[in-house]
Amino acid sequence: MKVKVQTLDAVESGDIELNDEVFGLDPRADILHRVVTWQLEKRRGTARGTRERADVARSGKKLGRQKGGGVARHGDRRAPVFIGGGKAHGARVRDFNPGLNKKVRALGLKMALSSHAKAGSLVVLDGLTVEDGKTKALTGNLSKLGFGKTALVIDGDAVETTFALAARNLRQVNVLPAGGANVYDILKHDTLVLTRAAVEKLEARFNG
């Protein structure tokens, strides 16, 4: 699959051949759903388990006689109404860390990349250097390129410093290094922007 390469000034600077095994797959909703669900569940934090009535180490002896004491009828000191007693309906540890086969994860990422390539919302840039790292300069460049409402920009090993500085004040633009590319973020944005370095890293990631 051939895609035009542009500069940040929206000037064409040649073509790049994308690997069809990475960018030319037919996206499957079931695979993408499985990977996104797995990814979001991995982010969830679990509550710290509290000790309930059965977990507290206190005397199990009945406090007093059942009737005639003039006070409430209690069983033992583990009851939640007492200081030091067990928590009533306390938080319990839950497992939000399901497993997912590596091959399915890799396939999901390929399909997410392919979905942008097939929809025509994939942009390949020659580089990300922004003059003086100014947001105003980057805003002008983005208007020329005609991105959608939101854009995810993926660079090589590390994001170009001037671009990262210029983009940090733009809510609609997010940046990631190639190693951080993931299905959820790719699908969430209207436009996917890759640099030449990012294309090489992503293709090497699946071929290696």
pLDDT band for position 200 (50/70/90)? very high
6 secondary structure, DSSP code: E
Q: How far apart are CA 44 and CA 88, in angstroms?
A: 24
Overall pTM > 0.95: no
Q: 139, 170 in Cβ contact below 8 A?
A: yes
Q: Which helix (H) or strand (E) holds 29?
A: helix 29-43
pLDDT tens for residues 132-191?
Answer: 888 998 888 888 887 878 999 999 899 999 999 999 989 999 999 999 999 999 999 999
Q: What is the mean pLDDT of residues 23-45?
A: 93
Per-residue DSSP letter, 132: G
